[in-house]
A = this chain, B = another copy of it.
């Protein structure tokens, strides 16, 4: 359930997509690492908040207790701590596993790829954070997925807002996770969940509502820095100063047009400590696709300065910020677009089919194809002793092989090969 096989055409499409993403990561100077699909269970405990119940565990068959990785961020932090690395720009493209109830029609699965880029190290504030946002902008632009917006918030701003609204600190995580639903629910629904299920006071909820429905750019940051309550809160002020600097850098990158400072963005994972962000595709008004793919989050990330320290025996911290591109949804969109275009993807790269026009020439085909392979040429032949020429040419047309190298009795006698262009039917003897 929630997994799938990829047929050859899907693999080709996916590989194109991954190549674009990895190309962007390499453009930003990242090196690749690879970690095992399983981690010690204890490594994953306490990192994912409420979502931890979705972790796949391996059976206890003796030895260590293991689980499948839930994301690539925790393994990266574990890798840094284990190897005492304090400075690294890395990417990793790999599958992760979540025992979710997946809506596979919307491109959500239990086994899915993540493409992560992270910058670890103690640096001047917001420079790496701005680069992560630039990367999201580049990937989504490169892939021509249509309009998008990157929502940005800051955990300290959010915590500051909750504090000045009178939410007790013990309820910060609960309140944040409800506020985070503002992208899918109306404020009335969010408010009623805060007051009802979560037991927050109606007054506090209303005060929170005044803030978390705000979104904007540098102007909003300036406005909040002047806000009588927020400007008095140490957390909020620190977060807003970060945001101001971030927007300054994003302006230099020329990408603020797609960035929205959104006070409702919370993101579920426990480990974020600073800037957080999420990219969302926007459905175009004149989009008339037959089965519209639900438009949702296609990338997300943020700063997690405490995670590496959790894996270090001495608790040494390594500040990190990173982005994860969720390629499955993008893949669904590209797959649908390809289908609509009617383009047929070639699933092999064969350059030439070695063919014979008469019987009893298998030996000639085997000798010639062997020569071609040894010369690095991508070549196929039919696995029949005496195939009909028509069948052989038909195979070329079906699979997109552009050339047929034909050896008949005459060609053998003359020491030549007849090379046929399958599309034009032109032939040359070489």
Binding site for B on A (CB under 8 A): 1, 3-8, 10-12, 14-15, 26-38, 56-61, 63-64, 68, 79, 82-83, 89-90, 95, 97, 99, 111, 119, 121, 123-124, 127-128, 130-131, 134, 138, 249, 252-254, 347-350, 362-363, 366-367, 370, 373-374, 376-380, 383-385
A interface majority secondary structure: mixed
Complex Cα distance, B121 from A35, in Å, reads 36
**The residue from B28, B57, B367 contacting A61, defined by CB atoms under 8 A apart:** B57
B residues near A3, Cβ cutoff 8 Å: 36, 38
Decide: A5 and B35 in contact? CB cutoff 8 A.
Answer: yes
Complex Cα distance, B372 from A29, in Å, reads 13
16 contacts between A and B (CB under 8 A): A5-B34, A5-B82, A7-B83, A27-B376, A28-B373, A28-B380, A29-B348, A29-B378, A32-B347, A37-B95, A56-B58, A57-B59, A58-B58, A127-B385, A138-B373, A254-B370
Say yes or no: A36-B1 contact (C-beta < 8 A), given A29-B348, A252-B367. Answer: no
**The residue from B60, B111, B366, B384 contacting A123, defined by CB atoms under 8 A apart:** B384
Decide: B37 and A37 in contact? CB cutoff 8 A.
Answer: yes
B residues near A33, Cβ cutoff 8 Å: 5-8, 11
Decide: A8 and B124 in contact? CB cutoff 8 A.
Answer: no
6 further A-B pairs in the complex, CB-CB below 8 A; given A15-B32, A28-B379, A29-B378:
A3-B38, A8-B32, A10-B34, A58-B59, A121-B383, A252-B366
Closest chain B CB from A64 CB (angstroms): 6
Decide: A377 and B27 in contact? CB cutoff 8 A.
Answer: yes
B residues near A378, Cβ cutoff 8 Å: 26-29
What is the copy number of this chain in the assembly?
Answer: 2
Decide: B79 and A383 in contact? CB cutoff 8 A.
Answer: no
Decide: B347 and A64 in contact? CB cutoff 8 A.
Answer: no
Closest chain B CB from A216 CB (angstroms): 22
Complex Cα distance, B30 from A111, in Å, reads 25
Closest chain B CB from A68 CB (angstroms): 8
B residues near A60, Cβ cutoff 8 Å: 59
Complex Cα distance, B128 from A273, in Å, reads 57
Complex Cα distance, B374 from A350, in Å, reads 34
Closest chain B CB from A123 CB (angstroms): 4
Complex Cα distance, B124 from A35, in Å, reads 43
Decide: B32 and A252 in contact? CB cutoff 8 A.
Answer: no
Say yes or no: A385-B124 contact (C-beta < 8 A), given A29-B379, A34-B11. Answer: yes
Closest chain B CB from A164 CB (angstroms): 31
Decide: B1 and A64 in contact? CB cutoff 8 A.
Answer: yes
Considering the complex, give the chain B residue whose CB is closest to the CB of A90. Answer: B8
Closest chain B CB from A56 CB (angstroms): 6
Decide: A111 and B12 in contact? CB cutoff 8 A.
Answer: no
Closest chain B CB from A88 CB (angstroms): 9
Considering the complex, give the chain B residue whose CB is closest to the CB of A39. Answer: B3
Complex Cα distance, B378 from A134, in Å, reads 14
B residues near A83, Cβ cutoff 8 Å: 5, 7
Decide: B363 and A38 in contact? CB cutoff 8 A.
Answer: no
Complex Cα distance, B82 from A127, in Å, reads 50
Closest chain B CB from A328 CB (angstroms): 13
Decide: A111 and B348 in contact? CB cutoff 8 A.
Answer: no
**The residue from B14, B61, B373, B377 contacting A99, defined by CB atoms under 8 A apart:** B61
